Structure 1
Amino acid sequence: MTTSCFAITGGCGYIGLRLADYLLEINDLNTIILLDIHPPSNYKQSNRLIYRYCDIRSYKSVYDALTNVTCIFHLASYGMSGREMLNYKMIYDVNVIGTENIIKTCIEHNINKLIYCSTYNAVYTGKKELLNVTENDCLYPIENEYCDNYSRTKSLAEQMIIKACTSKFHTVCIRPAAIYGDGEQRHFPRILNLVRQGIVFFAIGHKNILADWIYADNLVYALYLAEKSLPKYSGEVYFISDDQPINNFQFLSQLTKGLGYNNCFNFYIPTLIMFYIAYIIEIIHYISAKYIYNFDPFLTRAEVLKVGVTHYANITKAKNLLGYHVKVNPDEAMKKSIQWFNEHGYKKTINQDNFKFFWLFLISAVILMIFFFYQFIRLKM
C-alpha cells in the first residue's frame, strides 16, 4: 500500500466527513486533512485525521492549507438551497473564486490530482427535460439560461476544472444527483421542517415526473473510484446516481410516512404555477432581506424546477470507466435514513392538520393573484 495525503475542501460537511472515514478505513497509511472554516463537532485530531482552517475564497488561506498534500477532493460549495441560493456574491466567491484558488494552488504546490464534486445542475436548467442523458448529450448551457446562481457557478467551476487538466495535473469531475442519507443535513431536514409546519401537503408537477437521487455512501464510493481512475481517465466528467429514477414526491413520501406523516403530497400543483409562486417569494425575500429580515424562503424557482421537471441520467460511463456500482441499494438506504431521522427527533409528535387549511388558503390566494395579474397584463396589451 502507498501512503497518500488527501485534502478535502468542505471536509467538515456531510459528504466530506463520510469520505474521510472511508479513506481512513480502506488504507491504514492514508492521512486526511479536513479543510473548512469550522472544525467538525466532537473533533479529535490524530496523526491520520487533521483539521486545517481554510477559507477557499482567500488565495493565501488555500495556499497555506495545501502543504504536503498529494491529492485534493474539492467538495466545498455554497448556495444549494434556501436563502443561500439568493446570496449571489457569496455563491460566486465560493464556487468560482474558490475553485480558481484551488486550481492555482494545486499547480504551484505540484499537487497532481484534483477530484471535483459537481452537480447535475451544471448542465440542467429546468427549461427542458433530460431523459436518460449521457455526458455526451449535455452541452453546457449559456449562462443566462440558468435561473439560479448556484447552478451557473457550479457549471463555470466544472469547466475550469476540466480546462485545467494537463499531462501533469490530472482532474476529474463527478456530477451527483440529489444527495440523501442518514445524517444528511440539507435536503431531508429542510423538507421535514416544512412538513412539520404543515406547508408541504402538496406535490409539484405530476406523478410521471422522474429524477435521480444518490445515497451518501454511493457518492463517497464514486469519489474514491474517481481518484483511482487518475491519471488514466483524466479530464472526464461522470453522472453518478443510485441508478433508479423515481418521482421526487414518491421518493420523499417513503421518508415522511416512515416518520409518521401520512398526509403529505396529497395532490399536485402544476410546475408553472409553483414556479411563479416561487418567483413572488423570491421578490418578497429580496425586499425583506434588504430592509426587514433575511428569512428562509420555503421555495425558490430553482427548487421548483428541480422537483417539477423530469431529469435523470444514464450512468453507463461511470460503470464502464470507473467500475462504479450501487453499493447500497435505495431501499436499504431509505431504511437507514428513516431510522436515523426517527432517532434524532424528526418523528411526528403533533397533529398538523390545522396548519393545512391556512396554507391551502394562502396558496389559493396567491394563485388567484397571479391569475388576475396575468389577465390585467393581457388587457393592457
Structure 2
Amino acid sequence: VNVAPSSNPESVVSRLGEELDWCVPKGKVVVTGGGGYFGFRLGKQLASEGFSVIFLDLNKPPCDIPNGAIFYQSDILDYSSLYKVCEGVDCMFHTAAYGMSGPEQLRKKQVESVNIGGTNNVINCKERSIPRLVYTSTINVVFAGKPIVDGDEASVPYVPLNAHIDHYSRTKAIAEQMVLAANGCPLKGGLLRTCVLRPCGIYGSEERRHLHRMNVERRLFSFRFGDPQAQMNWVHVDNLVLAHKLAAEALSPKKSCVASGQAYFINDGVSVNLFEWLTPLLLQFEKLGCRQPLINLPVSLVYSAILVEYLHVVLRPVITVPLLFTRSEVRNIAVSHTFKIDKARRDLGYCPKPYTLKDSVEQYLQSRPPRSSSPIFSLSWTSGLPRHLILLLLM
C-alpha cells in the first residue's frame, strides 16, 4: 500500500487503515433477483465496497458484471442449485419476486411459486448456516385500498390475506411473515437473523422497466383518473440500496442485531402529491408532442378493470385481451397511502439523500432511441413504476 507523505502522522495512519480495509474482503453475499434493476444496483454497490457478490437470477443483468462479483444463472425454485451457490455466504439479500404489475399479476401459479416457494427455498438455506437474511417486501402487505396517513410499523397491521385483490400483494405478505418467523432459527454456531424492508415505488437513473420500455407513437384516447390530492411516497434506488446495506449491518453482532425480526418502511422521507411529483415527466413529454390529458374519469368507472382482468384470463388461450391496468393499480393511484420512516432512521441509521424525478427523466430522454413512425400504437410494460401512472399522463 502506497501512502503519500504527510505532515500529520495521524492522517497517514488513518488513510493507511482505510486502504488496508479496502484490500481485505468484507464477506460473501448473494443477491437473488440480481438480474433485475434493483438487485443489480444493490450487488454492484456491494461489490464496489469490497464484498464478494453472487448475482442469482434466471435473467442476465442489463450491464457487465462488476469486478468482485459473479453471475449465477439459476431458478430460485431450484433448491439444489441455490444450496450450492450459498457455500460460505455471510448474508443473503432476497429481492427476487414475480407479479408486481400488469398481466403478471394474474398468473396466480407463477406468482405463488416464486414469491412463496422461492422464499421458502431461501429460508431453507439456513442449512448453509448463513447468519443474515434481508428480505425486500412491499408496502402492499399493509395497504389494500383504505387510506393510510403517516402509517408506521406498530400501528398499521397486515391486510387479511383474503382481503387482497391481487396475488402479488397476498404472496408477498405470506413470504414476509415466513421470513420474520424464521428469525432466531438455530444454526451451527449461532442463530439466523432476519429483517424485512418495505419499499414503495422505486425510481432512479437507468431504470428500464417503465420509461425505457414505453413507446407511444400515437395517442388513441386521453384521460386521467384518481384523487388529484392523493399523497404517496417514492424511494430512489440509491436510497433503497443504502437501506439494505444498513439493514444487513444491523443484523450483525457489531450492531447488537438491532434489526433482528423487524420490518421497516423505506422511502425518501417525504410524502408527495402524485401529479406534482410527476411534473418533470409531464413537462419533458410535452416537448415530445404529448399533451397532458384533459378528461378526468371517475375511479368507479376505471375500476371496472375487473371485467378486463376476467376477460384477459378467460380468453388468454384463444386471444390476448389488452390489459391496460389492473384493479390493484387503480387502487394504488386513487387512494392516499403514506408511511413514516422513523423506525428505520432510529434502528438502521437510515438517512435518505434528496433526489428528484427530474434527473431520472432527463437521463431517460437522453438515452431514448429515435421515434419510429411505423407503428400506430405500441406499448409494452413490466413491473416497476405502476403502468397507470404513465397511462394517465400520456395516453
TM-score bracket, normalised by the shorter chain, equals: 0.7 to 0.9
| Pairwise CA distance, 1:180 | 1.1
Secondary structure of the residue aligned to 2:317 is: helix
Secondary structure of the residue aligned to 1:239 is: strand
Secondary structure of the residue aligned to 2:43 is: helix
What aligned pairs does 1:247-266 form with structure 2 within 5 A after superposition?
247-259=273-285, 260=287, 263-266=291-294
Which residue among 113, 124, 127 is the counterpart of 2:143? Answer: 124
What aligned pairs does 1:23-34 form with structure 2 within 5 A after superposition?
23-25=46-48, 27-28=49-50, 30-34=51-55
Q: Which amino acid letter does the alignment assign opposite residue 46 of structure 2?
A: L
| Pairwise CA distance, 1:45 | 6.9
2:254 aligned with 1:233: no
What aligned pairs does 1:304-315 form with structure 2 within 5 A after superposition?
304-315=330-341
| Pairwise CA distance, 1:42 | 4.7
Q: Which residue pairs with 1:366 in the alignment? A: none
Mean alpha-carbon deviation: is it higher for 95-104 or for 265-274? 265-274
Cα distance in 1 between the residues matched to 2:61 and 2:271: 33
Contact 1:117–1:176 (CA<8 Å) still a contact in 2? yes
Q: Which residue pairs with 1:157 in the alignment? A: 175
Pick closer, same or farther for the CA change 1:201–1:241 going to 2, 3 Å. Answer: farther
Which residue among 156, 164, 187 is the counterpart of 1:138? Answer: 156
5+ residue gaps in structure 1? 356-381
| Pairwise CA distance, 1:217 | 0.8
Cα distance in 1 between the residues matched to 2:322 and 2:121: 30
Cα distance in 2 between the residues matched to 1:265 and 1:207: 13
Write the deviation string for residues 64-95 of structure 1: whole angstroms up to 9, x where unpaired.
Answer: 22222110000000001111111111100000
Q: Which amino acid letter does the alignment assign opposite residue 307 of structure 2?
A: I
Cα distance in 2 between the residues matched to 1:197 and 1:147: 32
Cα distance in 2 between the residues matched to 1:325 and 1:124: 24
Secondary structure of the residue aligned to 1:284 is: helix
2:308 aligned with 1:281: yes
Q: Which residue pairs with 1:362 in the alignment? A: none
What aligned pairs does 1:155-304 form with structure 2 within 5 A after superposition?
155-166=173-184, 168-189=191-212, 192-193=214-215, 196-198=217-219, 201-230=222-251, 231-259=257-285, 260=287, 263-276=291-304, 278-293=305-320, 297-304=323-330
| Pairwise CA distance, 1:196 | 4.7
| Pairwise CA distance, 1:58 | 2.2
Cα distance in 2 between the residues matched to 1:270 and 1:330: 32
Cα distance in 2 between the residues matched to 1:112 and 1:44: 26
| TM-score between the two structures when normalised by the length of structure 1 | 0.83
Q: Which residue pairs with 2:17 in the alignment? A: none
2:85 aligned with 1:65: yes
| Pairwise CA distance, 1:185 | 2.3
5+ residue gaps in structure 2? 1-20, 186-190, 252-256, 378-395
Contact 1:10–1:74 (CA<8 Å) still a contact in 2? yes
Which residue among 347, 369, 380 is the counterpart of 1:321? Answer: 347
Higher helix content, 1 or 2: 1
